[in-house]
A = this chain, B = another copy of it.
Amino acid sequence: MRDVYIAGMGQTRIGELWDRSLKDLAVEAALKALAEAQATTADCLIVGNMLSGELASQENLGVFVADSAGLTPVEAVKVESACSSGGAAFREGYLRVASGAAESALVVGVEKMSDLLPDAVSSGLALAADGDSENLHGATFVALNALIMRRYMHENGYKHEDFSGFAINAHRNAASNEDAMFPRAVTAKDYAKSCMVASPINLLDSSAISDGAAAVLLSARPKPGVRPIRVTGSGAATDTIAVAARKDPLWLSAAEASARRAFAQAGLKPEDVDLFELHDAFCIMAALSLEAGGFAPRGKGVRLAMEGEIGPTGKVPIATRGGLKARGHPVGATGVLQIVDAAVQLRGGAGASQVPGARVAMTQNIGGSGSSVYTHILAAGD
């Protein structure tokens, strides 16, 4: 497998974008990534998306984006892996270039969620859970995460307020990201009085229904004139789709396995990582991801937040541009947004939330309640 470079990238603003369609979002991100790389097309187009059929009345999405962006007859396909669809699309593009099957791959992650009522969106997202044992019984994703968080608090002796650091860090970092959905700070007091969604998960524990897109052009050649960014590790793994079927609902075994594969490929360890763009769809997922990734012992992920070690100058900077929580979580786009956020950091362009001297970044995109996980490691410089 040869080196793969990020030759260009782009994203839209993230938010409830009432005036932008699925097409508008995907095309804006795709053309920005091509323009930055001074390219007009790629050998293939891989689109990461979960719910275009259910929420935006469009399947055949690879062709739809290719055609809308003026890229036909390029080979184009949609990849779906629930909330990790963006990470799955990125891995697919990465493998094509790394293996020599293509010289370049344009990866676009997109989701348009706000055109339907929130109930319909929750029903759509619930399709990532097990139809027979979870979805059929009305368990939404916030409900499943609430069960996990309650158990985690019980087993490890945490109070709800102990998780506030995750929301505070994400929002503080989003404040300097002009594309973020919620670019404003929140306090521990805001967190404490935030309305309950599914106990113990409150509004500030949760990412929001979002619209947005992101794109990267992967190439076998670095972009001239800027600091090269290489993909040095890529790992994917799955776990049971139903949370109740797991031996241990508090351990993200697919996150552990995919991170182990990415670390092995990159020849790195957790302590080599300068920032970790993890999948903080809910605060509990941030805690579990830190543990599964090897950044904290089991049951101790929350302590990193409590001790102020997840900020840009901490031991394990996370959500450095706002994360899913505050940058926004347009589900099919999220895995690609994480790559863009990591690359912005490695280029030194993150402003007030810049991680000093960042050279190695890890991203991790989770589908379902930890059932499908994609981990990538990026490195700055040759």
Contact = CB atoms under 8 A, between A and B. Distances in A.
A59 interface: yes
A78 B80 contact: yes
A67 B238 contact: yes
Nearest to A75: B236
Interface stretch (A97-105, A151-159, A164-172): A97-105
A241 to B, nearest CB: 5
A254 interface: yes
Interface in A58-81: 58-64, 66-67, 72-81
Nearest to A44: B236
A212 to B, nearest CB: 19
Given A58-B127, A240-B72, A372 B63 contact: yes
B80 A92 contact: no
A84 to B, nearest CB: 9
Contacts of A367: 60, 63
A51 B74 CA distance: 23
Interface in A121-156: 124, 127-132, 135
B101 A82 contact: no
B81 A63 contact: yes
A64 B54 CA distance: 18
Given A77-B81, A79-B78, A59 B128 contact: yes
A304 to B, nearest CB: 26
A3 interface: no
Contact of A372 (B60, B81, B130): B60
Interface of A: 1, 23, 44, 50-51, 53-54, 56-64, 66-67, 72-82, 88, 92, 95-96, 98-101, 124, 127-132, 135, 236-242, 245, 253-254, 257, 367-368, 371-372
20 contacts: A1-B100, A54-B59, A58-B127, A58-B135, A59-B80, A60-B81, A60-B82, A61-B80, A62-B80, A62-B372, A63-B82, A67-B245, A67-B371, A72-B238, A72-B239, A73-B254, A77-B80, A77-B92, A78-B79, A79-B80
